[in-house]
């Protein structure tokens, strides 16, 4: 048994299984959202751990978009944004604003949420 596994076994952690039966670990006593709660819009930078960790898990990066995010011309990832927890396009910071390039059609609500989050990100870059 690995040192990491032994250490985790001694901690009081909440344990789950994913759809493939792999163990997932979380902190205890934290509130969990309902399963149908949409994830908020998020902007991910190049080399973000979320994309790298889930490189072969299609829940975060749908397979149809993989070549647009990771490819031989740009071996690093590109800036991406998430809608309801999934990559839905790319973004760039340009002239004091966050510019979006969605991979598909965005709902008005999703666009409004992304625009609001994009304003906060632009303020951070300023």
Residue tagged 């994309």 (tokens): 51
Q: Does the structure show a pLDDT above 60 at 117?
A: yes
The string of pLDDT tens digits covering residues 44-86 is 998 888 887 765 666 788 889 888 888 777 777 899 999 998 9
CB 62 within 8 A of CB 53: no
C-alpha count within 13 angstroms, C-beta hemisphere, residue 68: 17
Predicted model pTM: 0.74
> Three-state DSSP class for 71?
coil
Q: Residue 122's pLDDT band (boundaries 50, 70, 90)?
A: very high
pLDDT of 12 over the 60 cut:
yes
Q: Which residues contact 84 (CB under 8 A, 6 or more apart)?
A: 38, 39, 110
* Chain mean pLDDT for the chain: 87
């Amino acid at each position: 048994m690995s040192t990491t596994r032994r250490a985790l076994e001694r901690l009081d952690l909440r344990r789950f299984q994913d759809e493939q039966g792999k163990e997932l670990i979380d902190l205890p006593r934290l509130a969990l959202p309902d399963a149908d709660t949409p994830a908020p819009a998020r902007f991910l930078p190049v080399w973000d751990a979320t994309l790298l960790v889930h490189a072969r898990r299609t829940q975060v990066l749908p397979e149809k978009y993989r070549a647009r995010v990771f490819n031989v011309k740009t071996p690093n990832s590109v800036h991406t944004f998430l809608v309801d927890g999934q990559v839905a396009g790319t973004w760039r910071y340009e002239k004091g604003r966050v510019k979006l390039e969605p991979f598909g059609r965005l709902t008005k609500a999703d666009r409004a949420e992304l625009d609001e989050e994009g304003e906060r990100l632009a303020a951070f870059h300023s």
